[in-house]
Structure 1
């Protein structure tokens, strides 16, 4: 360990530890490239497009297309960085591990802390949106809705969001059964929801009216920027692919491939959906409406059959996001636990299912609380700012790691280096600037709490520091214990 105070962890050590049997049982490599792409689509396509589209339209108007393109560009540049880092360091820690290897332990802990927003808090946000479409589906099929008191957060006409809690607990049950079973379920749900969105485009385009696209940018550049910040939420989750690094066959090849294919497919799909939605209905009637896609299909077809299909697709889509994102959060905590930065309970893997069972249930229960009682808009903004901060750091990790480990095996290299990672940082900061001041204040407090936790808990218990003090021989033994 270099004596710079950064406590850098070498990529070779990270990879070696990921293959070690720290608790007597390890994760198994069962995921192929198709399953990995489906996992990526499963982690991305959900609340952001089915529920959040209307909020993006309310900010940007017909220029919502530009907002989605800006958000996609941010993800493309960052996806290049994730692809290079994921192929070079194929471990479960994702951006946390990449930061540990390039910027040091303190920065890594804060990235892991921010990942609680990207994965943990975002799974709460996704679960909140599930209830909206579940009610739409129930209303269309059986003529009954879950009472508002049991389907909304306090302050929004409800007492507790029961559907949000239920979908999180169901996802936990599936995750603890095994990654193979979870991957199969995610693949099926990914195919269903992509098919539903393609069907939406086909239906909405039958009612397309070019007049609905004028004026194109009624809220100006500011509206496009604010819309892009919200549209970015629709792309959150593609980096969850890299959290599967220890459960993927041939990870150095398949992780970069899956990340790039997933982002390309999702970006194209979102642009088609946004154009079809605005073309079918004036933006003023779409903006701010819950279950907007169902509303558009109802208007286009003149019946409730289409909206029932859309609602079914949304229920499946959002459930798959909960599953995939919760998976990502448990694997981040597993990596941090291995390093001694969070309690050891998070690293224990079941000998029967080869999954971190206790870790999964803790995540499900803890993040079911905000899902049950916090409004969606509050959760969404914090998720976005935390994710953008992590993405900015990941783009910085690429040049840092190239400088410190130029000989590291890289199956994929960022094109247009160093311009691409710098643009990734710039786009991330631009979208962060579109968020309200109160979100920045909340984020600053969140980071301060994280820094305090690292100083009081993580730094004193760091296994890297302990092994360095113990000496090379004992450190080598500890790394495979």
Structure 2
């Protein structure tokens, strides 16, 4: 497949992809933007300020760097969605460029990231529920709260994608407006003494930025939401790119303002041990507990809405791959509401297992471990998608394209690849080790599925092939 010969862009023309069932175009620009924002702004903004506080205020610099990286990824996915405006996104792009195995690895890694991320989000709810209903440090009770936070949105997903879009708009409004107000108002109450040391990690500043950025990436996971669900988006060639960039920019603004406010409102030594940093920040503004209680309620709604969207994404990726025979067949079955029910159920079950296995040492440790695993498993499909764009651009350089457009797209793709590689390195040895084990565990599944298809005489999708 070559790039378009029109002078406007260096991105290939849209073509049908193997994953394409008949599109169900239920998301307009508002719903798609809300889906992106709703999946980005969730547990991250409410839980991560305390998680990165041990690194010092250098993590604020990491937030700025990561915001730039997220916008680059948003631009990348917008360009790629012009070529393949179908459900599956980060699975479709590597598969079309490099063949089935690359597509499978991307889908498997992203699917792994989804259910690990879902488990982490459910754990993030616990600290804010504890503000509303004191749990007394009982790990069993806390785990039950996390499991309830996981299963309620999973059950709601069976109602269908139209309901998911509606829930995303409502939950995004409920959390975005008060979060922005808190961030802006909080800046007037900031005490410079609360920020603490610039680098409290004991390592070099560059090392601290990389390490904190690896944790903070979790707060930007979801930038690809509209691209993954492109089959449900109206006019995806234009809408996906616009929704992704708008949602990412708005989320980055809220993140940076909110995190600065939290760092300046809560003393550093208290922030390090906080289970609900935004609630503590609001208490510092209001001088009492009612403000913290209100923001805790908003946080619970926010994270629940984020889980609602993430569970849909977790089902959409294997759905697209299963239609190509690269995931077990049950993942391709749609329920009455148009949702891949088996994908929803499997993510809920696997998330439950992760929560149970990682909750022995409490929510803080469980959250940190799960977040770092998502960094690795999330960056693998980012890397492969950036590589796919580089491939399509290189394969089409002999076509007539505007040089400025080619340079722009090459720059975005190359920087997206570099940022993803840097974030994987920042995740640390333990997260990379566990992530690689999760990734390689999928290879026997691919071998089994490929072998069954070969035995049945079904042809494989060749390099660059985009037909079923």
* 1:377 and 2:377 are equivalent in the alignment: no
SS in 1 for 2:88: coil
SS in 1 for 2:24: coil
Question: In 1, Cα distance between the equivalents of 2:355 and 2:196?
Answer: 37
* 1:170 and 2:172 are equivalent in the alignment: no
Deviations 1:233-285 (A, max 9, x none): 11111212212111111111101110010111111111101111122233232
* 1:135 and 2:127 are equivalent in the alignment: no
- Name the residue aligned to 2:223: 238
- Name the residue aligned to 1:450: 442
SS in 1 for 2:442: helix
State the shift of 1:316 in Å. 0.7
State the shift of 1:186 in Å. 1.2
State the shift of 1:111 in Å. 0.8
* 1:282 and 2:267 are equivalent in the alignment: yes
- Name the residue aligned to 1:421: 413
Give 1:404-419 correspondences, 5 Å limit.
Answer: 404=395, 416-419=408-411
Give 1:111-260 correspondences, 5 Å limit.
Answer: 111-139=106-134, 145=135, 148-152=138-142, 161-213=143-195, 215-219=197-201, 220-260=205-245
Deviations 1:334-375 (A, max 9, x none): 11110111221111123x322223332232223222134422
TM-score of the two chains, using structure 2 as the length reference = 0.87
Given the alignment, which residue of 285, 288, 294 partners 1:309? Answer: 294
Give aligned pairs, total: 442
Question: In 2, Cα distance between the equivalents of 1:464 and 1:419?
Answer: 43
State the shift of 1:29 in Å. 1.2
Unaligned runs of 5+ in 2: 2-12, 359-365
Check whether the contact 1:96–1:108 (CA below 8 A) recurs between aligned residues: yes
- Name the residue aligned to 2:283: 298
Greater CA deviation, 250-259 or 414-423?
414-423
Check whether the contact 1:84–1:256 (CA below 8 A) recurs between aligned residues: yes
Give 1:341-356 correspondences, 5 Å limit.
Answer: 341-350=326-335, 352-356=336-340
Given the alignment, which residue of 352, 360, 377 partners 1:386? Answer: 377
Check whether the contact 2:321–2:327 (CA below 8 A) recurs between aligned residues: yes
State the shift of 1:33 in Å. 0.4
Deviations 1:395-445 (A, max 9, x none): 111121234467899xxx787231221111112222222222122222222
- Name the residue aligned to 1:108: 103
Question: In 2, Cα distance between the equivalents of 1:346 and 1:47?
Answer: 27
TM-score of the two chains, using structure 1 as the length reference = 0.85
Question: In 1, Cα distance between the equivalents of 2:189 and 2:150?
Answer: 37
State the shift of 1:223 in Å. 1.8
State the shift of 1:35 in Å. 0.7
Change (3 A) 1:120 1:207: same
- Name the residue aligned to 1:156: none
- Name the residue aligned to 2:47: 51
Unaligned runs of 5+ in 1: 2-9, 21-26, 140-144, 153-160, 470-474
Change (3 A) 1:392 1:288: farther
* 1:398 and 2:389 are equivalent in the alignment: yes
- Name the residue aligned to 1:12: 15
Check whether the contact 1:200–1:293 (CA below 8 A) recurs between aligned residues: no
